[in-house]
Structure 1
Amino acid sequence: MLAPDLIEELAQQLSQARRTRTPLRQFSRQYPEMTIEDGYAIQRAWVRLELAAGRTIKGRKIGLTSRAMQLSSQITEPDHAPLMDDMFFESGGDIPFDRFIAPRVEVELAFILGKPLQGPGVTIFDVLSAADYVVPAIEIIDARIEQFDRETRAMRKVFDTISDFAANAGIVLGGRPVRPLDVDLRWVGAMLHKNGVIEETGLAAGVLGHPATGVAWLANKIAPYGEGLRAGDVVLAGSFTRPTPALAGDSFHVDYGPLGSVSFRFA
């Protein structure tokens, strides 16, 4: 484990990087002994800084849910991070591009919990029972830590991504909310349009076979730390498309078929 004072220092660096839109060199390059546990320790330290600054936690995100992403990251399970209140944006509007460093867009479903979920032992059936509804969502991911090192072009490691809020930077909810048992969520599909051109398509079954699986995993994963998912939490279940890069002026429209659509423009 990295020393506690170093963990606090790295969290401060991430907070500064987000404010100034200045990406950091990869922590794993500077500290090759870094572990996944260190990544989460840095993430928790950064969350404490956000809370001290007046931010609140509105939910959680689950990332690296596809088999391909886990293989590329050399891990065997997803990652996770809190969703802060200033990460939420309205569908149909403009989002300031200068809030981000190198944003990319992913297609997801969000579970809105009506009842708390406390592990261990949470199952997919508990998730479907606890969720008031499921709604289409777009996640905006970003890189406060360089995705590719500026000199070596080496890709960052999962330790870096975890410390960097699991890459989360923004959330847009929209479309038509549905009760989780009214639709076979595995077969929810979406088409992601960028500037009017279809860039990605996918099915929600790409998220661990069923998008509720990741929510159950998360509730059990955070239980040893005395944490649980709360009533009212928004839980992003994981992307079922590849990340799509974005530039200022790009517009995005994601069509979820019977579940409606979500759209925005980077202004």
Structure 2
Amino acid sequence: MQAATPPVVSGRIGRMLDDKAIQAAASALEEAERSRKQIRLLSETYPEITMDDAYAIQDCWIGMKLASGEKLAGWKIGLTSKAMQAAVSIDIPDSGVLLESMRFPNGAVIVPGRFIQPRIEAEIAFVMNGPLEGTATVEDVLAATDYIAPALEILDTRIARKDPQTGKLRTVYDTISDNAADGGFVLGDAVTDFSGLDMRWLGAIVSRDGEVEETGLSAGVLNNPLMSVAWLAQRLATYGHRIEAGQVILSGSFIRPIEAIPGSEIVGDFGTFGHVSCQFE
């Protein structure tokens, strides 16, 4: 396996928004998800927003959900490819939270209205058998992994992709605040024999209604999805969180998002690694 070092998490630069603004932004996201009506860019509503503010909004919103009885399922990593980083002018990934209510079984049929603008990404999921600290290495990630699995992530955006008033596109601050655009996830069958596997060469052919839409290799995820999980452990530690045993980690997509239009079926063919799919009514 090729040795490498995960990208360094940028130092914290502090918050510009007060607690009232953080709460207001989190409440607006919750209402957008409930009503299925997107809000305008938070980066336009709060031009002074920083990355620390964005993660504070995400934490506040997820805290509201946990307080209402939701259960934490794990974490997702986004912006791991060079193309996606260039699109938002940032050179590090971002992360979001997975909740149990976001988990769908393989082959799930998703009812109309469950999401606002769902899109699909393909990635490798890690399910952990132990915690990971902020100093985690690739070797630590391997040791703390119970199994890996092919996965589809369902993206959804409570914040408009383009601001309806100014026409400006989402920034990384909007994406982070919006829980890294996470909406749901689907896991394929567990793969427990992975110790000698070069995960850079895991890939998928992703089809919509039998037509190939995207293909990719997991080397697109920071050169190796193991590196992505190590980066996540570092980033979580920066904000007082930690990867725990039993949690699911979505390591980052190696394809461009596919629109999940009503009536479509999305299938991720990972070859010998397995298949994973979902349908949208």
> Which TM-score bucket, shorter chain as reference?
over 0.9
The corresponding residue for 1:53 is 68
The corresponding residue for 1:186 is 200
The corresponding residue for 1:84 is 99
- Secondary structure of 2:252 counterpart: coil
- Secondary structure of 1:127 counterpart: helix
- Secondary structure of 1:237 counterpart: strand
The corresponding residue for 2:58 is 43
Residue pair 1:178, 1:259 contacting (<8 A) in 2 also: no
TM-score of the pair, normalised by structure 1? 0.97
Matching residue's letter, 2:162: F
| Structure 2 CA distance for aligned equivalents of residues 245 and 17 of structure 1 | 20
| Structure 1 CA distance for aligned equivalents of residues 151 and 192 of structure 2 | 13
- Secondary structure of 1:42 counterpart: helix
Query: Pick from 153, 171, 187: which aligns with 1:173?
Result: 187
- Secondary structure of 1:181 counterpart: coil
The corresponding residue for 1:34 is 49
Query: Pick from 143, 149, 153: which aligns with 1:129?
Result: 143
Residue pair 2:260, 2:266 contacting (<8 A) in 1 also: no
Query: Pick from 94, 97, 101: which aligns with 2:109?
Result: 94
The corresponding residue for 2:258 is 244
Write out per-residue CA displacement over residues 178-220 of structure 1, whole angstroms, 9 at most, x where no aligned residue. 4331421110010000011000000000000000101101111
Structure 1 residue 207 corresponds to structure 2 residue 221 = yes
- Tell me by how many angstroms 1:93 deviates: 2.4
Residue pair 1:10, 1:42 contacting (<8 A) in 2 also: yes
- Secondary structure of 2:237 counterpart: helix
Say how many residue pairs are matched.
Answer: 266
Structure 2 residue runs of 5 or longer lacking an equivalent are 1-15
**Runs of 4 or more consecutive aligned structure 1 residues displaced over 6 Å after TM superposition:** none
Q: Give the aligned CA root-mean-square deviation in angstroms.
A: 1.1
Structure 1 residue runs of 5 or longer lacking an equivalent are none
Structure 1 residue 216 corresponds to structure 2 residue 230 = yes
- Tell me by how many angstroms 1:32 deviates: 1.0
- Tell me by how many angstroms 1:176 deviates: 4.8
TM-score of the pair, normalised by structure 2? 0.92
The corresponding residue for 1:161 is 175
Of residues 95-104 and 187-196 in structure 1, the stretch that sits farther from structure 2 once superposed is 95-104
| Structure 2 CA distance for aligned equivalents of residues 200 and 86 of structure 1 | 27
| Structure 2 CA distance for aligned equivalents of residues 182 and 258 of structure 1 | 15
Query: Pick from 12, 35, 52: which aligns with 1:20?
Result: 35
| Structure 2 CA distance for aligned equivalents of residues 216 and 248 of structure 1 | 36
The corresponding residue for 2:12 is none
Structure 1 residue 253 corresponds to structure 2 residue 280 = no
